A and B are shown apart, each in its own frame.
Chain A
Amino acid sequence: MDDISADLEAGNALMQACAGGDRQAFHQLYLNEAPRMLAFARRFTGESACADDALQDTFVQVWKNAHRFRHERGSARAWLYGLLRYRLLNQQRRSSRYEVGHLPDESWPDPGLSPEQCSLADNDRKVMIECLKTLRLERRRPILMAYYMGLSYEQIADSLAVPLGTIKSRIRSGLKGLQECLRL
């Protein structure tokens, strides 16, 4: 079992312990998963306070709803990110304004990955990175804007100054390409 699989298994076990009311497991789950989730939330919101709030809300919900986690439907980590993105999207859509930070370009993922990043990518999910890299930039960029920044079709079209219909078509073509590449 590689490090990532062991990490995911540990996350699943901790989540199940949380469902049983184990407070130490809850704290350990937080210590294991929250650092990267916080990085994700900060990338998403571009603001520390909003990112902290979303992460806080997510973990409180995890403690209250851990019994709803179903291992057979996916990993605890995927469930955590699903909950976090849901909150971040709600925050984003409630706010009338949004800021677009650094847009993913040809150099994505950033050149010069650290050894840790390389080892993290060395698993099944490396496939996703490889599949994304096969997409043309005009399709990959709006998809990554949706994933990392939570922008809607309209916001992406607005940011890139491209007609809405064109953006929809590019994203859908990109998603079809990903689906084929991932064999979903």
Chain B
Amino acid sequence: MIPDDPQERQLLIAEHVLGLHDPQRRQEIDAWLAQDEEASRLAGHWQEHWLGAAELLEPAPLPSRLWRRIARQAGVAPSRWQWVWQSPVVWRTVSASLLVVVALLLGPLRQPAPVYTVILQAPGEAAAPGWRVTVSASGDLQLIPLQEVAYPRQHSVQFWTLQDPARGPRSLGLVERGQPVVIPASQVGEVKSGQLFELTLEPPGGSPGDRPTGPVLFIGRAVAL
């Protein structure tokens, strides 16, 4: 039963938004809110204010399987051909094959410069490649996203390489979410087999210093082809 007293009604709404009532009482109050515009607006105000408490929580990294489950159940999952087109596994195979073909074709013509590839993976998640790096014979580097990853909006993602541990990591610039990046050879410098590349989460605009400050999102080592 919904009380007549305005103050009691207001308290009832505050309790309801918190979820303090049993299911039967909740249904009763929901039915009332559906009919009473003013009461419904007050419930909405409480919900908006409570967002302040929710926003104090640190965002959690999303498991990649979660979106696949949601997309499948909601009926928005890509078709088989779309899946093939977007699959990192397919692209890894195709690009590795192309690199081999290019290397084989160019090999006899001139002294081959090393060509490298790096698969950047989330730490501890070998089955989930996030980005692919290719370094061409001319030394230009290309960074290509393989999956969509949720980054907190208020942060930047920064690309680093570590060639000489004694000198520490060197920034290769900021990366836009989901956007491929091409970095000229002059900026990349010499690349060696086993050289480390990583993406870290940094404050807006990037690390304030010349070293990464945030957690490592993706990491991998250069492999010569």
Contacts and interface: CB of A to CB of B under 8 A. Distances in A.
Interface of A: 3, 7, 23, 26-27, 30-32, 34-36, 38-40, 42-43, 52, 55-56, 59-60, 63-64, 73-75, 77-79, 81-82, 85, 89-90, 93, 109-110, 113-117, 119-121, 125-129, 132, 143-144, 146-148, 150, 152-153, 171-172, 175-176, 178-179, 182, 184
Nearest to A155: B20
Contacts of B167: none
Contacts of A77: 51
A171 B46 CA distance: 15
Nearest to B63: A52
Given A175-B14, A179-B14, A82 B47 contact: yes
B48 A78 contact: yes
Given A60-B74, A78-B44, A175-B11, A34 B52 contact: no
B67 A39 contact: no
A73 B10 CA distance: 17
B49 interface: yes
Lowest 5 CB-CB distances: which A-B pairs, in order?
Answer: A125-B52, A35-B59, A128-B52, A74-B44, A39-B60
B59 A36 contact: yes
Contact of B42 (A152, A171, A184): A184
A13 to B, nearest CB: 15
A26 B152 contact: no
B40 interface: yes
Nearest to A94: B23
B10 A31 contact: no
B149 to A, nearest CB: 8
B74 A39 contact: no
Given A171-B20, A176-B11, A81 B60 contact: no
Contact of B45 (A114, A115, A150, A184): A184
B52 A129 contact: yes
Given A52-B63, A52-B66, A116-B152, A26 B20 contact: no
A93 B20 CA distance: 11
Interface residues of B, number: 49
A64 B61 CA distance: 25
Contacts, number: 155
A129 B74 contact: no
A148 B46 CA distance: 15
Given A150-B19, A184-B46, A120 B59 contact: no
B55 A125 contact: yes
A38 B49 contact: no
Contacts of A75: 48, 51
A77 B46 CA distance: 13
A117 B59 CA distance: 10
A81 B51 contact: yes
Given A35-B150, A93-B23, A30 B67 contact: yes
Given A59-B74, A93-B23, A119-B154, A129 B11 contact: no
A110 B58 CA distance: 11
A61 to B, nearest CB: 9
B94 interface: no
Interface in B32-72: 40-42, 44-63, 66-67, 69-71
A74 B23 CA distance: 24
Q: Indicate the member of B59, B62, B70, B203 with the most A CB atoms within 10 Å.
A: B70
Contacts of A39: 57-60
A30 B50 CA distance: 20
Given A60-B74, A93-B22, A176-B11, A127 B58 contact: no
Q: Indicate the member of B22, B47, B55, B203 with the most A CB atoms within 10 Å.
A: B55
Contacts of A89: 19
